[in-house]
C-alpha cells in the first residue's frame, strides 16, 4: 500500500500568510522496497471540493517530490487555497492528499491601514503598556475574513474580547527599518453579527525597550504602534476593509512596565473590563496618533512564530539555607510563569527568575548582570487570580518568590517554555544515559535560544543574535528541528545588516555597531570577525545541504559573495585579519583573565577564508554559475596553498601548537599532501598532553570529534566525548546541567562560579557536538551531490562501549533512520530509507553475516552497498 503522509508548503504545514509562488513537497510511505515516484498530479483550488481550480498540473511524468513549483499559478492576495496531490510510483498509485495555505497581501500598495499609537513623545522613556481599539459592524452573512497585523514593539491582537492566535512576542525582532514582519490570521470564527470590537495590546519589546549589554533605549523608535487591516468577504460577494486610522482610540493598559530583560509589572487596579469588545468601554480613552513608517519594509510571516510549546509544572517549592522560598521547575529554559494565587486588594505576587543555585544552595543572581527577570502582579480585589506576563520572557530553571499572599505550593505554578515553532525532526537515543542527557541538554539549549532569532543566551541583559554562535550550531539545529523558515527569516537580516564593504556584523539584528560606549571590547570593532561573519556563507550552504533547495543560495548569493570579497579586499597575499577578531573564544588555553584562545588570529582567519570560499564555490556550482565558480576556485586554491605554506613548518608540524590549529587544518582540508598522518598524530599528542581533555573554544570545539574520527582516531573521539570530569561535555551533565553552558567551568569542580560577567548556563554553542552524534555515532550523513537526503550516506561509527544507538531524522522525503546494537562479536543494524530516495550504506567490517537483500562489496577496507527505499536488517561482524 502506498500513501502520501503529508504535504509541505514552503517546508511548513498549512502556512498562513504566503506571498510569492510557493514550493510543494510530499512525504510518501510504502511497505515495499525500492519505491520511486514516476508521476505526480498537483491541484490548487479556491474551494475544498476542488470544483474551482486555480492550477492543475495534470499528470506530470517526473520523479521529483520536493521543490515543486506550480508554474503559471496566479496567486491572489488574502485568499485561502486548497492543495491536493496524488502520485504514481513503482509500488502503485496513491489517493489524493490535501493541505491548504492562505496568502498575504500583495505588497505595500495593498495596505490601507496606518500605524497608530496611544503613546506620546512624553512616553519615550516609558515602558508601560497601552491599548488601541475601535469598533465595526457586521450586518451580513460572512463567508470568510482575514486580519493582517503587525506592530512597533510587541503586540497582541484581539477581537471581541478574545486574543487572536497563539503567537507570542509578535512581530518578533528584525532589522525593523529594513525588514518588518506582519502576521496573517483567519478571523472568520471571531466575528459576530452586529457590533464588533477590535484592538491591540502593546508593549515596548525590542523596538523601543532597553536592549544590549551597552544599554540603549529607543533603538528603532520612541513609541509603540499597531498596524492592522481586516478583510471581510460576505456571502453576497461583497467585501469590506477595516483598517487602523485616526478614528481609533488609545488607553494605558494594566501593564505598568514591561521590558525584555527586566520582566513585567501588572496592576489589576488599572484593568479596563471588556476593552476589546464591541461597546465602548469605560475609561479615559483618547484619540490615537498616526506614526509615519515605511510600508515598503513589510513582509509576511507565514509560520515559525514564537509560541508556548512545552508545559512545565513546578517540580517543588523549597526554602534555601538563607531563607528564600524558591520554585524548581527542573529544567533550564526560556519560559513564562503562570502563577495562581488567592489574594485581597493590595496583595502582591512577585517572582524573580534565575538559572542556578550557588554552592551552598542559595539563590544566585549575579550572572544575570543588569537583567531583573521579574514579574509582579498587584491585586485589585479579593479573588483568585491567574497571571502570566505577555511582553517579556525569562531564562531560568528556578524562581524566587519575593511576595505571595499565603503559602506558595508547587501546584500554584506552571512554566510555559517558549520558542519559535519548528517541527521536531531529529531523535537520538543510546545505551549511555549521560549521552542521552547531553542530547536533551543540546535540544533544550536550542529551544531556549531560538526565540525568534538565534540568541547567545536567554537570561542576562544580552540575548543578541551572535552570528558566531549561530554558525557553529546550525548543522546541529538542522538535525533537531525544521529550521528552514527560522534561518531564512534571520538570514534576510544578516544580508540587510551587512556593511557596504561586505563585512558581516557580530550580532544580527545589529544594535552594537557604532555604539561601543565605554566597552573596550566593542570599541575595537563589531563586524568582520572570522567564524562569526562566515555565517553568511555557512548557514545558506547548510540549509541547502539539509533541504536540497537552491532557492536559499540564490536569495543569499549577494550576501555570500560580499563576505568572500571582503576577505579578498582585506587580505595580504591570501593571509587576512581585520579589526577585532574573537578567535577561539573562551578557549581554556587562553592567557589568565583573557577571553581569547591561544590559536593565532591569522591562522584562524585564513583557515575560514579557505573554508568559506570553498563552500561558496560549491554554491556557485549548484546555482549553475560555472564561470564565476572557476574564478573563486582559483581563489580557494591560492588561499589553501598559502595556508599550507605558512602554518606548517619545514618539519611538517604546525607553527601553532594548539588543539584548535590542528582541528581546523584537518577538518577544513588544509593539511599538505602526505602530512595527514603526522597532523592527526600531532592533534592526538596535544590531546594526550591534556590527559584526553579538550581546551578548545568556540572555533575548535565544534569540529574536534570530526577531525579525530575522519582521520583514523575514532577511539580518541569517543574518549573525548565520554570524558566526564572537567573540562568536558559530560562534566556539565554530572553537575546536573539541563542545558549547555557558556563556559566549560561555568560551575567549577569546587562548586564556585566562573566570573559573573559572562556565565550563561543556557548557551548552545558547545552543543554543536550534537552534529557528531547524528553524523558519526548514528551515521546519518548527507550526499552533497544529491542534498536534502535525496541520497543519504549511512555510515555509523561503532564505538564508545555503547550497546546500542537509535537515531532518526525526518527529512523532506521522510524518515532516514538507524538503530545499531552490539551483541558480543556482531552488530545488528536496522536501516530506514524513505520512499523516492536512495542511500549508500558503509560499514567498518570485514564480513556481512546477514545482508537482507543488499549487495555488499568490499571498498577500501569497508563493506559498501547501494540501497533503495525501505527498512533493512543487517548483521555484521564486529
Digit-coded pLDDT (tens) for 72-108: 999 999 999 999 999 999 999 999 999 999 999 999 9
CATH code for the domain of 533:
1.50.10.10
Catalytic residue among 356, 601, 742, 815: 742
Is 710 domain-assigned? no
Is 52 domain-assigned? yes
- What digits encode the pLDDT tens for the residues 227-244? 999 999 999 999 999 999
pLDDT of 497 reads 97
pLDDT of 737 reads 98
Same domain, 29 and 14: yes
Same domain, 576 and 498: yes
Mean pLDDT of 840-869: 97
pLDDT of 523 reads 76
Say if CB 519 and CB 462 are below 8 A apart: no
Same domain, 96 and 59: yes
pLDDT of 522 reads 76
Same domain, 136 and 284: yes
Q: What is the pTM of this model?
A: 0.98
- In the predicted model, what is the mean pLDDT of the chain? 97
pLDDT for residue 311 is more than 80: yes
Catalytic residue among 462, 601, 771, 815: 462
Is 751 domain-assigned? no
Question: For residue 55, what is the enclosing H or E element?
Answer: strand 53-60
pLDDT of 75 reads 96
Helix axes 550-569, 535-547, angle to 10 degrees: 160
Say if CB 770 and CB 446 are below 8 A apart: no
Is 451 domain-assigned? no
Q: How far apart are alpha carbons 760 and 463 in whole angstroms?
A: 10
Mean pLDDT of 661-683: 98
pLDDT of 499 reads 95
pLDDT for residue 521 is more than 80: no
pLDDT for residue 26 is more than 90: yes
Q: How far apart are alpha carbons 765 and 759 in whole angstroms?
A: 13
Is 94 domain-assigned? yes
Same domain, 514 and 595: yes
pLDDT of 525 reads 77
Is 468 domain-assigned? no
Would you call 742 a catalytic residue per the annotation? Answer: yes
- What digits encode the pLDDT tens for the residues 754-772? 989 899 999 999 999 999 9
pLDDT of 462 reads 96
Structural domain containing residue 43: 2-103
User: Which residues does 680 contact at the CB level (< 8 Å), separation at least 6?
Assistant: 662, 666, 707, 708, 711, 712, 713
Report CA torsion sign: 109, 111, 113, 116: negative
Peptide bond into 509 cis (omega under 30): yes
Report CA torsion sign: 414, 418, 422, 428: negative
Would you call 156 a catalytic residue per the annotation? Answer: no
State what percent of residues in the chain have pLDDT above 70. Answer: 100
Same domain, 53 and 97: yes
pLDDT of 310 reads 98
pLDDT of 303 reads 94
Rounded to 5°, the CA angle 559-563-566 comes to 135
> Where among 622, 647, 672 does a domain terminate?
647
pLDDT for residue 553 is more than 90: yes
pLDDT of 594 reads 86
Same domain, 87 and 194: no
> Where among 403, 420, 437 does a domain terminate?
420
- pLDDT-derived band of residue 592, with 50, 70 and 90 as boundaries? confident
pLDDT of 516 reads 74
Mean pLDDT of 11-40: 97
Same domain, 297 and 316: no
pLDDT of 596 reads 92
Same domain, 278 and 363: no
Q: How far apart are alpha carbons 769 and 771 in whole angstroms?
A: 5
CATH code for the domain of 871:
2.60.420.10
Same domain, 486 and 561: yes
pLDDT of 170 reads 98
Question: For residue 798, what is the enclosing H or E element?
Answer: none
User: Which residues does 288 contact at the CB level (< 8 Å), separation at least 6?
Assistant: 116, 117, 118, 132, 246, 248, 249, 250
Q: Judging by beta carbons within 10 Å of its beta carbon (0-12, 13-18, 19+), is residue 476 exposed, middle or buried?
A: buried
Same domain, 294 and 186: yes
pLDDT for residue 577 is more than 90: no
> Where among 103, 137, 152 does a domain terminate?
103
Residue 424 in grid coordinates: 521536531
Is 461 domain-assigned? no
Total tally of structural domains belonging to the chain: 5
Q: How far apart are alpha carbons 100 and 9 in whole angstroms?
A: 8
pLDDT for residue 517 is more than 90: no
- What digits encode the pLDDT tens for the residues 335-365? 999 999 999 999 999 999 999 999 999 999 9
pLDDT for residue 524 is more than 80: no
- What digits encode the pLDDT tens for the residues 465-497? 999 999 999 999 999 999 999 999 999 999 999
Same domain, 286 and 325: no
CATH code for the domain of 254:
2.60.120.260
Is 570 domain-assigned? yes
Amino acid at each position: 500500500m502506498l500513501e502520501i503522509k503529508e504535504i509541505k508548503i514552503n517546508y511548513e504545514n498549512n502556512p498562513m500568510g504566503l506571498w510569492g509562488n510557493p514550493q510543494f513537497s510530499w512525504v510518501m510511505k510504502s511497505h515495499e522496497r525500492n519505491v520511486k515516484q514516476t508521476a505526480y498530479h498537483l491541484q490548487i483550488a479556491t474551494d475544498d471540493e476542488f470544483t474551482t481550480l486555480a492550477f492543475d498540473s495534470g499528470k506530470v511524468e517526473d520523479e521529483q517530490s520536493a521543490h515543486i513549483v506550480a508554474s503559471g499559478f496566479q496567486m491572489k492576495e488574502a485568499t485561502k487555497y486548497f492543495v491536493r496531490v496524488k502520485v504514481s510510483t513503482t509500488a502503485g498509485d496513491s489517493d489524493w492528499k490535501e493541505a491548504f495555505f492562505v496568502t498575504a497581501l500583495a505588497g505595500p500598495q495593498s495596505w490601507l491601514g496606518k500605524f497608530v499609537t496611544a503613546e506620546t513623545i512624553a512616553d519615550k522613556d516609558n515602558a508601560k503598556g497601552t491599548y488601541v481599539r475601535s469598533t465595526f459592524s457586521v450586518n451580513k452573512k460572512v463567508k470568510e475574513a482575514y486580519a493582517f497585523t503587525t506592530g512597533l514593539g510587541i503586540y497582541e491582537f484581539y477581537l471581541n474580547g478574545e486574543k487572536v492566535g497563539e503567537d507570542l512576542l509578535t512581530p518578533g525582532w528584525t532589522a525593523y527599518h529594513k525588514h518588518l514582519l506582519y502576521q496573517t490570521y483567519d478571523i472568520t470564527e471571531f466575528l459576530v453579527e452586529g457590533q464588533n470590537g477590535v484592538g491591540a495590546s502593546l508593549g515596548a519589546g525590542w523596538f523601543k525597550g532597553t536592549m544590549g549589554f551597552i544599554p540603549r533605549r529607543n533603538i528603532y523608535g520612541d513609541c509603540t504602534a499597531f498596524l492592522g487591516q481586516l478583510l471581510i468577504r460576505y456571502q453576497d460577494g461583497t467585501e469590506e476593509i477595516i483598517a487602523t486610522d485616526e478614528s481609533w482610540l488609545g488607553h494605558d493598559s494594566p501593564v505598568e512596565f514591561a521590558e525584555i530583560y527586566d520582566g513585567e509589572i501588572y496592576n489589576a487596579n488599572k484593568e479596563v473590563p471588556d476593552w476589546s469588545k464591541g461597546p465602548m468601554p469605560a475609561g479615559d480613552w483618547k484619540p490615537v496618533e498616526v506614526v509615519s513608517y515605511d510600508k515598503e519594509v513589510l513582509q509576511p510571516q507565514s509560520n515559525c512564530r514564537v509560541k508556548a510549546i512545552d508545559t512545565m509544572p513546578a517540580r517543588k517549592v523549597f526554602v534555601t539555607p538563607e531563607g528564600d522560598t524558591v520554585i524548581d521547575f527542573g529544567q533550564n529554559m526560556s519560559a513564562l510563569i503562570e502563577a495562581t494565587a488567592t489574594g485581597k486588594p493590595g496583595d502582591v505576587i512577585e517572582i524573580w527568575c534565575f538559572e542556578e543555585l550557588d554552592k551552598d544552595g542559595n539563590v544566585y543572581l549575579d550572572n544575570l548582570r543588569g537583567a531583573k527577570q521579574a514579574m509582579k502582579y498587584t491585586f485589585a480585589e479579593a479573588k483568585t487570580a491567574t497571571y502570566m506576563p505577555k511582553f517579556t520572557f525569562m531564562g531560568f530553571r528556578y524562581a524566587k518568590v519575593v511576595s505571595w499572599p499565603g503559602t506558595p505550593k508547587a501546584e500554584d505554578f506552571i512554566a510555559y517554555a517558549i520558542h519559535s515553532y519548528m517541527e521536531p525532526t531529529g531523535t537520538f537515543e543510546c545505551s549511555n544515559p549521560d549521552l542521552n542527557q547531553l542530547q536533551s541538554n543540546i535540544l533544550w539549549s536550542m529551544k531556549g535560544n531560538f526565540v525568534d532569532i538565534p540568541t547567545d543566551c536567554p537570561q542576562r541583559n544580552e540575548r543578541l543574535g551572535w552570528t558566531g554562535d549561530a554558525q557553529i550550531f546550525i548543522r546541529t539545529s538542522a538535525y533537531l528541528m525544521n529550521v528552514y523558515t527560522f534561518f531564512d527569516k534571520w538570514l534576510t537580516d544578516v544580508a540587510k545588516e551587512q556593511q557596504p564593504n561586505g563585512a558581516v556584523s557580530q550580532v544580527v539584528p545589529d544594535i552594537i555597531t557604532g555604539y561601543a560606549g565605554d566597552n573596550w571590547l566593542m570599541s575595537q570593532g563589531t563586524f568582520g570577525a572570522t567564524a562569526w561573519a562566515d555565517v553568511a556563507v555557512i548557514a545558506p550552504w547548510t540549509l541547502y545541504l539539509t533541504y536540497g533547495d537552491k532557492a536559499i543560495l540564490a536569495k543569499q548569493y549577494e550576501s555570500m559573495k560580499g563576505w568572500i570579497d571582503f576577505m579578498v579586499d582585506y587580505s595580504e597575499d591570501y593571509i587576512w585579519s581585520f579589526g577585532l577578531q574573537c578567535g577561539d573564544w573562551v578557549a581554556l588555553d587562553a592567557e589568565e583573565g583573557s577571553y581569547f584562545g591561544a590559536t593565532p588570529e591569522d591562522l584562524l582567519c585564513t583557515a575560514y577564508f579557505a573554508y568559506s570560499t570553498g563552500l561558496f564555490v560549491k554554491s556557485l556550482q549548484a546555482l549553475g554559475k560555472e564561470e564565476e565558480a572557476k574564478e573563486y576556485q582559483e581563489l580557494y586554491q591560492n588561499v589553501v596553498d598559502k595556508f599550507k605554506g605558512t602554518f606548517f613548518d619545514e618539519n611538517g608540524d604546525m607553527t601553532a601548537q594548539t588543539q584548535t590549529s590542528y582541528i581546523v587544518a584537518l577538518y577544513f582540508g588544509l593539511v599538505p599532501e602526505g602530512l595527514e598522518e603526522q597532523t592527526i598524530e600531532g592533534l592526538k599528542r596535544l590531546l594526550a598532553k591534556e590527559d584526553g581533555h579538550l581546551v578548545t573554544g568556540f572555533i575548535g570545539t565544534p569540529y574536534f570529534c570530526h577531525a579525530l574520527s575522519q582521520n583514523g582516531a575514532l577511539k580518541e573521539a569517543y574518549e573525548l566525548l565520554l570524558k566526564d570530569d572537567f573540562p568536558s561535555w559530560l562534566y556539565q551533565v554530572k553537575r546536573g546541567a539541563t542545558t549547555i553552558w557558556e563556559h566549560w567551568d561555568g560551575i567549577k569542580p569546587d562548586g564556585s562560579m566562573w566570573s559573573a560577567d559572562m556565565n550563561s548556563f543556557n548557551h548552545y554553542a558547545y552543543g554543536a557536538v550534537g552534529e557528531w552524534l547524528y553524523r558519526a555515532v548514528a551515521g546519518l550523513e548527507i550526499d552533497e551531490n544529491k542534498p536534502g537526503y535525496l541520497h543519504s550516506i549511512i555510515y555509523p561509527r561503532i564505538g564508545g562501549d555503547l550497546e546500542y544507538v537509535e537515531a532518526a531524522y525526518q527529512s523532506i522525503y521522510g524518515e532516514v533512520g538507524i538503530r545499531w546494537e552490539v551483541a558480543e562479536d556482531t552488530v545488528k543494524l536496522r536501516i530506514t530509507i524513505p520512499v523516492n530516495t536512495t542511500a549508500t550504506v558503509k560499514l567498518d567490517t570485514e564480513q556481512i553475516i546477514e545482508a537482507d537483500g543488499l549487495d555488499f562489496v568490499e571498498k577500501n577496507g569497508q563493506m559498501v552497498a547501494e540501497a533503495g527505499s525501505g527498512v533493512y536488517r543487517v548483521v555484521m561482524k564486529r
